[in-house]
Amino acid sequence: MSISADELAAIRASFQRLLAERGTEADVRRAIASPEGYDAALWRGIGDLGLAGLIAPVADGGAGGGAVELELLMEDAGAALLCAPFLSSVVIAGGLVAGGDDAEDRARLLPRLISGAAVGAVALTGEAGLWTPQDITVRAAEGRLTGVASYVLFGAQADVLLAAAWDAEGPAVYEVAAGATGLTITPLKTFDLTQPMAKIAFEGVEARRIAGPEALARTLDLGRIALAGEQAGAARRIFEITLDYLRTRVQFGRPIGGFQAMKHMAADLLIEVENATSAARHAASAVAQGAPNAQVMVNLAAFACADAFSQTAATAVQMHGGIAFTWDHPAHLYLRRARADARLFGASDLYRDRYLAALEAVDA
């Protein structure tokens, strides 16, 4: 690892400062109403801080960070409901390109991704939206892709567009030019307002193989850890927002946080929030250390963090009462993100099953 604890603290502080200044709720609301569908100014700020190169190898011009650094920054990103293609471009697209085997591809694509000049997107799943290898319906043959992918984060905004596609080796990763012939990109109307998605149809689109199945699997693990960190951070923030309200909203002559029903809901949520933080951080360090139980931990974090964020955001609305039913209150923004995050990369049921399978391997 090439980032020291002090450097990490400094990086994190600069990211938090950026988010405090330019990633406020007002910025989020402006971003979701913008034609780009994300916060282009904030994304440039991320690039200026060098954060788009966080996990790219030092040799390729990145900061050389790993799962642990990524997870921590994603907690901050989640707390602020980051409206920028960090997960899509930095983690998944950047991870795949850096993990690819061709030095020329890396030299061509990575500098633009690392600087934040380009937005990267990766088509990972088919129209069923299961995020399993079987669900990838795009096929590669003779350098061309055919099939349909959907739920592609930042698919319509992408400058660097990659797609998972089956070839002789299994699910591999291909690059297509953003305006290539045979490519139809349809922006999707999404419930979550903070992360744009698109459906992408490939009809014999010329493509270049970037990375194989192993790099894809590795990068997806990193993506799951990043998402888990985002969920942990977002769950904690909406929980804190709720606690503030419990302390200040007065009914029946006292703060509503004095009512036992509220206190008990809050205590139960605290367990969820702490569970999420522990799961995300332990998964990150297990992967960073190449621990034998890394798969157990990644799968655990995938559903524990998803469930924790979903439950916290959903309960937060109830705990606020009518105010949270208004568009102007932030609770629904978290609820929407929670519901999207809980499906992204596969639903909790899938990961519970995989977690058990990983444990079975240990408990034979």
Binding residues (CB under 8 A) for other proteins: these are 243, 246-247, 254-255, 257-258, 260, 262-264, 266-268, 270-271, 274-275, 277-279, 281-282, 300, 303-304, 349, 352-353, 355-356, 359-360, 363
Least distance (Å) between residue 255 CB and other proteins? 6
Nearer to other proteins, 4 or 260 (CB): 260
**CB-wise, 89 or 242, nearer to other proteins?**
242
Shortest reach from residue 356's CB to other proteins, in Å: 4
Cα–Cα distances (Å) from 288 to 68, 93, 150, 226, 281, in that order, read: 7, 19, 30, 13, 10
Token digits for 363?
């408990």
Q: If you ran DSSP here, which 8-state letter would residue 125 be given?
A: B
Q: How far is the CB of 72 from other proteins (least distance, A)?
A: 13
Least separation in angstroms between CB 249 and other proteins: 12
Tokens of 162: 């990659």
Q: How far is the CB of 301 from other proteins (least distance, A)?
A: 10
- State the nearest-atom distance from the C-beta of 361 to other proteins, in Å: 10
Of 92 and 304, which CB lies nearer to other proteins in the complex structure?
A: 304
Nearer to other proteins, 128 or 361 (CB): 361
Closest contact distance (angstroms) between CB of 98 and other proteins is 29
Contact 298, 71 (CB under 8 A): no
Give the DSSP letter string of 135-175.
G---EEETTEEEEEEEEEETTTT-SEEEEEEEETTEEEEEE
Which residue, 336 or 354, has its beta carbon nearer to other proteins? Answer: 354
Q: Which is nearer to other proteins, 253 or 290 (CB)?
A: 253
∠ at Cα 273 (333, 89), nearest 5°?
55
- 104 and 42 Cβ atoms separated by less than 8 Å: no
Cβ-proximal residues to 241 (8 Å cutoff; 6+ apart), any chain:
316, 330, 331
Helix (H) or strand (E) holding 82: none
Q: Which is nearer to other proteins, 19 or 246 (CB)?
A: 246
Q: Are 117 and 85 in contact (CB under 8 A)?
A: no
CA of 243: how far to CAs of 6, 75, 309, 315, 320, in Å?
31, 19, 15, 12, 10
